[in-house]
């Protein structure tokens, strides 16, 4: 740590389910420097003040998405937030909202992972290919159609910000819907028809109330609200096409 420029009060939500009935707040006082992140503040606590504090982190560069938490009631990456912006505190740090707590600041992402599987967020080539066919190349202009949506790092900040996911856990959610749209817009992909029944449902794009909080907190500029809104037109056309087909039948 570089030369400290002050001290900040951190109020960290603690919860050990094996012996705590409810989460509670614990206070720590941490010296900070100008370039010290919230994640480094948590690491200071664990290394020097309280080794029982539990949180996730990996890259420290806003790439892996594992250090997401509620920082002063806003979903954010701890490595991408700086103590200087909250000094002298108190700064409250809690696990991401709307998700089950495993321990302290660690949440259980199982629901999100299950929904990622349901939307089939992976490339399904239009024609069968083998490694012998070589790279599945794509023109830069075609990639530009979905590139922003492909930047998702699965940090789950958008789920913590989404009021609809809080109200209805059957809602597929911002990141999964944005990633489904990423592959729907990929001109190499042939999986749209397999994805659309779920995306067209109330659990899918029509469950979104377009508050837009998901896009505001996204650290990578994925803009899930835009991805969901863009998919509503093809979804409406699917519905209209089904009605016309039935009438003609």
For 190-247, the pLDDT digits (tens) are: 999 999 999 999 999 999 999 999 999 999 999 999 999 988 888 887 767 665 555 5
Closest CA to 68 of 30, 97, 45: 97
Please indicate, yes or no, if residue 23 is contained in any of the structural domains: yes
Shared-domain flag, residues 164 and 239: yes
Cβ burial of 131 (10 Å; 0-12, 13-18, 19+) is exposed
Mean of the per-residue pLDDT values of the chain? 93
Please indicate, yes or no, if residue 121 is contained in any of the structural domains: yes
Please indicate, yes or no, if residue 14 is contained in any of the structural domains: yes
Shared-domain flag, residues 125 and 137: yes
Shared-domain flag, residues 33 and 98: yes
pTM of the full structure: 0.91
Name the pLDDT band for 90 (thresholds 50, 70, 90). very high
Shared-domain flag, residues 71 and 165: no
Please indicate, yes or no, if residue 1 is contained in any of the structural domains: no
Shared-domain flag, residues 127 and 57: no
- Is the pLDDT at 77 greater than 60, yes or no? yes
Please indicate, yes or no, if residue 99 is contained in any of the structural domains: yes
Shared-domain flag, residues 148 and 67: no
Confidence at residue 223, expressed as pLDDT on a 0 to 100 scale:
95
For residue 65, the enclosing domain spans 6-107
Shared-domain flag, residues 120 and 204: yes
| Positive or negative torsion for Cα 16, 17, 20, 22 | positive
Closest CA to 78 of 97, 59, 98: 59
Shared-domain flag, residues 91 and 167: no
Please indicate, yes or no, if residue 57 is contained in any of the structural domains: yes
How many structural domains is the chain composed of?
Answer: 2
Give the percent of the chain with pLDDT over 90: 86
Are the C-beta atoms of 137 and 186 separated by less than 8 Å? no
């Amino acid at each position: 740590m570089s030369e400290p420029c002050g001290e900040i009060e951190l109020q960290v939500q603690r919860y050990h389910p094996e012996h705590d009935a409810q989460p509670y707040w614990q206070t720590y006082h941490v010296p900070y420097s100008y370039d010290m992140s919230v994640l480094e503040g948590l690491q200071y606590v664990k290394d020097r003040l309280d080794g029982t504090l539990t949180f996730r982190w990996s890259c420290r560069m806003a790439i892996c998405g594992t250090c997401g938490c509620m920082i002063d009631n806003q979903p954010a990456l701890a490595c991408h937030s700086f103590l200087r912006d909250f000094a002298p505190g108190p700064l409250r740090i809690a696990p991401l909202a709307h998700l089950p707590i495993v321990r302290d600041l660690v949440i259980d992402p199982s629901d999100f992972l299950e929904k990622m599987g349901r939307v089939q967020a992976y490339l399904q080539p239009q024609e069968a290919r083998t490694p012998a066919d070589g790279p599945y190349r794509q023109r830069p202009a075609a990639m530009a159609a979905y590139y922003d949506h492909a930047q998702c790092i699965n940090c789950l900040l958008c789920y913590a910000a989404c009021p609809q996911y809080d109200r209805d856990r059957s809602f597929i959610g911002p990141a999964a819907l944005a990633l489904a749209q990423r592959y729907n817009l990929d001109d190499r992909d042939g999986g749209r028809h397999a994805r659309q029944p779920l995306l067209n449902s109330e659990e899918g794009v029509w469950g979104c109330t377009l508050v837009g909080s998901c896009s505001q907190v996204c650290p990578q500029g994925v803009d899930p609200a835009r991805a969901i809104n863009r998919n509503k037109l093809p979804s409406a056309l699917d519905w209209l096409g089904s009605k016309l087909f039935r009438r003609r039948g």
